[in-house]
Structure 1
Amino acid sequence: MFIEDLILENDKRGIADLKQLLPNHFCIDAAELILTKPGTVLITTGFYILNAKSPETDGPPGALAIGNALKRLGYDVHFVTDHQTLELMQHLCSKDVNLIEFPITSYEKSISFSKDIIAKLEPELLISIERCAPDENGVYRNMRDLDISDNTAKIDLLFELHDNTIGIGDGGNEIGMGNIRTGIVNSNTLVSYPVVTTTNQLIISSVSNWGGLGLVAALSLKSGHNLLPSESDHSDAIKTIVDLGAVDGVSGIRDYLVDGFSIPENLVVLRKLNDYVNSNI
Structure 2
Amino acid sequence: MWTLYQKFTVLGATVCSLALNSTLNNFTIPGYKQASVVILHKSLADDFEKFCHANSGALPLLYRSKPGEWKCPSLSSDSDTRTDCLQYRKYEHGAFTGSLRSLKDYSEQLKDMVAFYLGCSSNFEKVLQAAGIPVRNIEQKCNISMYKTAVPCYSISNFCCNLVVAMRPIPESKLEAAVLATSELKEAPGAPIHMGNPGLLGIQDLSKPDYGDSVHLQPGDIPVFWACSVTGIEAVINCRSPLAFTHSFGYMFNTDLKNDRFALRSSREVPQVHCISQDPLHYSMVSAEAAKKIKTLESLIGIDPGNRGIVHLLRPGELLKTCLSLSHARSVLITTGFPTHFNYEPPEENDGPPGALAIAAMLQALEKDVAIVTDQRATDLNKKIIEEAVQIGILKEPVPLLSYQRESANSALTFLCENGNPRRPRFDHLIAIERAGMAADGNYYNARKVNIKHLVDPIDELFLAAQTIPGITTTGVGDGGNELGMGKVKDSVKKHIKNGDVIACDVAADFAVVAGVSNWGGYAIACALYILSTCEIHNCYLRRAVGFSQSPKKTVWLSALPSVTKEEKLLKALVQLGVRSGASASLEMEVDALPFYNTHAPLIEKLLHEVQH
Q: Say yes or no: TM over 0.5.
A: yes
1:203 to 495, 503, 513: 513
> Which runs of 5 or more structure 2 residues have no equivalent in the other structure?
1-294, 391-396, 419-424, 467-471, 535-553
Q: Is 2:444–2:452's contact at 8 Å kept on the other side of the alignment?
A: yes
Q: Secondary structure at the match of 1:161?
A: helix
| 2:538 corresponds to 1:217 | no
Amino acid at match of 1:44: T
With normalisation by structure 2, the TM-score equals: 0.43
In structure 2, relative to structure 1, the CA distance for the partners of 1:99 and 1:134 (3 Å cut) is same
In structure 2, relative to structure 1, the CA distance for the partners of 1:271 and 1:114 (3 Å cut) is same
1:26 to 318, 322, 335: 318
Q: Which residue of 1 aligns with 2:350?
A: 57
2:332 to 41, 56, 61: 41
With normalisation by structure 1, the TM-score equals: 0.90
Q: Distance in 2 between matches of 1:186 and 1:246?
A: 31
Q: Which residue of 2 aligns with 1:140?
A: 444
1:119 to 413, 417, 422: 417
- 1:63 is displaced (CA, Å) by 0.4
Q: Is 2:447–2:499's contact at 8 Å kept on the other side of the alignment?
A: yes
Q: Distance in 2 between matches of 1:136 and 1:256?
A: 34
Q: Is 2:375–2:457's contact at 8 Å kept on the other side of the alignment?
A: yes
Q: Secondary structure at the match of 1:179?
A: helix
Q: Distance in 2 between matches of 1:255 and 1:116?
A: 41
In structure 2, relative to structure 1, the CA distance for the partners of 1:275 and 1:190 (3 Å cut) is farther
Q: Is 2:363–2:370's contact at 8 Å kept on the other side of the alignment?
A: yes
Q: Which residue of 1 aligns with 2:375?
A: 82
Q: Which residue of 1 aligns with 2:486?
A: 177
Would you tell me which structure has more helix in proportion to its own residues?
1
In structure 2, relative to structure 1, the CA distance for the partners of 1:90 and 1:31 (3 Å cut) is same
Q: Which residue of 2 aligns with 1:6?
A: 300
CA deviation string 1:202-260 (max 9, x = no partner): 10001000011111111111111544222211111111122111011101222221101
| 2:404 corresponds to 1:102 | yes
Would you tell me which structure has more strand in proportion to its own residues?
2
Q: Distance in 2 between matches of 1:210 and 1:123?
A: 24
- 1:113 is displaced (CA, Å) by 4.0
Q: Which residue of 1 aligns with 2:226?
A: none
Note the aligned Cα RMSD (angstroms).
1.9
Q: Distance in 1 between matches of 2:612 and 2:320?
A: 16
What is the aligned length?
271
Larger radius of gyration: 2
**Relative contact order (C-alpha < 8 Å, sep 6+): which is higher?**
1
Q: Distance in 1 between matches of 2:464 and 2:453?
A: 18
CA deviation string 1:20-79 (max 9, x = no partner): xx2x22211110011122x22110001102233421000000000000000000111101
In structure 2, relative to structure 1, the CA distance for the partners of 1:167 and 1:111 (3 Å cut) is farther
In structure 2, relative to structure 1, the CA distance for the partners of 1:111 and 1:96 (3 Å cut) is farther
Q: Distance in 2 between matches of 1:186 and 1:97?
A: 38
Q: Is 2:590–2:596's contact at 8 Å kept on the other side of the alignment?
A: yes
- 1:115 is displaced (CA, Å) by 2.7
CA deviation string 1:148-184 (max 9, x = no partner): 0000111111111113111100011111111011111
Larger CA deviation: 44-53 vs 223-232: 223-232
Q: Distance in 2 between matches of 1:86 and 1:171?
A: 25
- 1:110 is displaced (CA, Å) by 7.1
2:571 to 216, 233, 238: 238
Larger CA deviation: 178-187 vs 218-227: 218-227
